[in-house]
């Protein structure tokens, strides 16, 4: 067990040593998106630029999905697969400063309130 801890610590130190002088490791932000009829709730309304771990949880009784799209024109939407009730999905995405729209794209769910805005800061 001690040897495993040593190997993990050594690998972490080696990873930090590989960074250019003056650079700091990128911080990972987290946000949970909870869906149920007919709400979409974010665990936080803003995150920092860079990598964001998005966890999608369906606490509803119907299937739901998630689309994340920057409000900047020409941006490409990020789509999460449709989840059955009690389903869960997680993925890490890269974001730049700005506003992002999130919504469920199934049927009329968006117009019934399943939408939110995430702000990305520097």
Judge whether residue 111 has pLDDT over 90.
yes
Q: What is the pLDDT of residue 26?
A: 72
Q: Which residues contact 93 (CB under 8 A, 6 or more apart)?
A: 51, 52, 54, 68, 78
**9-32: per-residue pLDDT in tens?**
444 444 444 455 555 567 899 999
Q: What is the pLDDT of residue 7?
A: 42
**40-82: per-residue pLDDT in tens?**
999 999 999 999 999 999 999 999 999 999 999 999 999 999 9
Any idea where the domains of the chain sit in the sequence?
26-121
CATH code for the part of the protein at 26-121: 2.60.40.420
Q: Percentage of the chain surpassing pLDDT 70? A: 80
Q: Residue 115: pLDDT band by 50, 70, 90 thresholds?
A: very high
Sign of CA dihedral 100, 32, 78, 47: positive
């Amino acid at each position: 067990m001690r040897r495993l801890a040593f190997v993990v610590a050594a690998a972490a130190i080696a990873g930090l040593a590989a960074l250019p002088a003056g650079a700091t490791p990128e911080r990972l932000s987290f946000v949970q998106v909870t869906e149920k009829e007919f709400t979409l709730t974010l665990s936080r309304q803003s995150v920092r630029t860079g990598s964001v771990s998005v966890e999608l949880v369906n606490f509803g009784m119907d299937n739901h999905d998630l689309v994340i799209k920057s409000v900047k024109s020409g941006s490409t939407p990020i789509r999460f697969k449709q989840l059955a009730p009690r389903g869960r999905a997680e993925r890490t995405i890269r974001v730049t400063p700005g506003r992002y729209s999130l919504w469920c794209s199934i049927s009329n769910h968006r117009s019934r309130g399943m939408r939110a805005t995430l702000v990305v800061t520097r």
